[in-house]
């Protein structure tokens, strides 16, 4: 069976998944391995994207889940969903660089939106994206997300979020109605 045709399975991450999830997230965003996919941040940020403590906090948080996506028993993607009242927050989204461009991202974000709507009754999905990531923002816009113009500062000096390679980074809020 062609692995690209194998079904995806979704489950909540457990403590046992933390190391594999950190490796996946790092591979999708940082270093040379990330350049195999199109979501790399290697040219704007060096250092780490996350760490075991950060991932474990998401796994353990009461109003949060780290949705783990597997194909043939291997973790191939993940995303954070957090219940924040009328809306849900979507973050920590990573797809294995070797599998990017196959439509997995579209499938996974649609499933995350469905779960936020059905589980929590969320009417909107919110996310923040580094504002200079125009290609990534355009991808989310094609999925129905809209730029709000609302930004928050990048945490310069906190290496848990990476080592910035430029001085104009900030996060922009993107929102999508889930009606």
| pLDDT, tens digit (0-9, with 9 covering 90-100), for 86-132 | 999 999 898 998 888 888 999 999 999 999 999 999 999 999 998 88
d(CA 177, CA 168): 29
Contact assessment for residue 169 and residue 152, using Cβ atoms and an 8 Å cutoff: no
Pair of tokens at residue 33: 């391995």
pLDDT at 16: 94
pLDDT at 3: 55
The DSSP code for 103 is S
Task: Count other Cβ atoms within 10 Å, centred on residue 47.
Answer: 13
The pTM of the full predicted model, rounded to 2 decimals, is 0.86
pLDDT at 98: 85
Residues of the chain with pLDDT under 50: 1-2, 34
pLDDT at 38: 52
Torsion sign (Cα): 100, 97, 154, 122: positive
Helix (H) or strand (E) holding 82: strand 74-84
pLDDT at 39: 58
Comparing C-alpha atoms, which of 46, 44, 33 is closest to residue 98?
A: 33
- Residue 72, classed as helix, strand or coil, is coil
Comparing C-alpha atoms, which of 170, 171, 169 is closest to residue 44?
A: 169
Comparing C-alpha atoms, which of 41, 13, 14, 38 is closest to residue 26?
A: 41
């Amino acid at each position: 069976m062609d692995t690209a045709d194998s079904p995806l399975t979704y489950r909540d991450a457990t403590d046992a998944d933390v190391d594999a999830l950190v490796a996946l997230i790092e591979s999708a965003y940082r270093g040379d391995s990330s350049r195999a996919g199109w979501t790399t941040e290697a040219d704007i940020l060096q250092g780490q994207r996350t760490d075991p403590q950060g991932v474990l906090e998401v796994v353990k948080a009461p109003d949060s889940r780290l949705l783990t996506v597997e194909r043939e028993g291997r973790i191939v993607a993940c995303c954070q969903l957090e219940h924040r009242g009328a809306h849900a927050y979507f973050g920590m989204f990573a797809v294995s660089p070797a599998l990017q461009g196959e439509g997995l991202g579209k499938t996974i974000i649609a499933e995350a939106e469905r779960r936020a709507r059905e589980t929590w009754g969320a009417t909107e999905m919110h996310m923040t994206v580094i504002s200079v990531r125009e290609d990534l923002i355009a991808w989310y816009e094609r999925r129905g997300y809209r730029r709000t113009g609302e930004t928050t500062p990048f945490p310069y000096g906190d290496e848990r979020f990476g080592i910035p390679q430029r001085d104009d980074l900030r996060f922009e809020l993107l929102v999508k109605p889930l009606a």
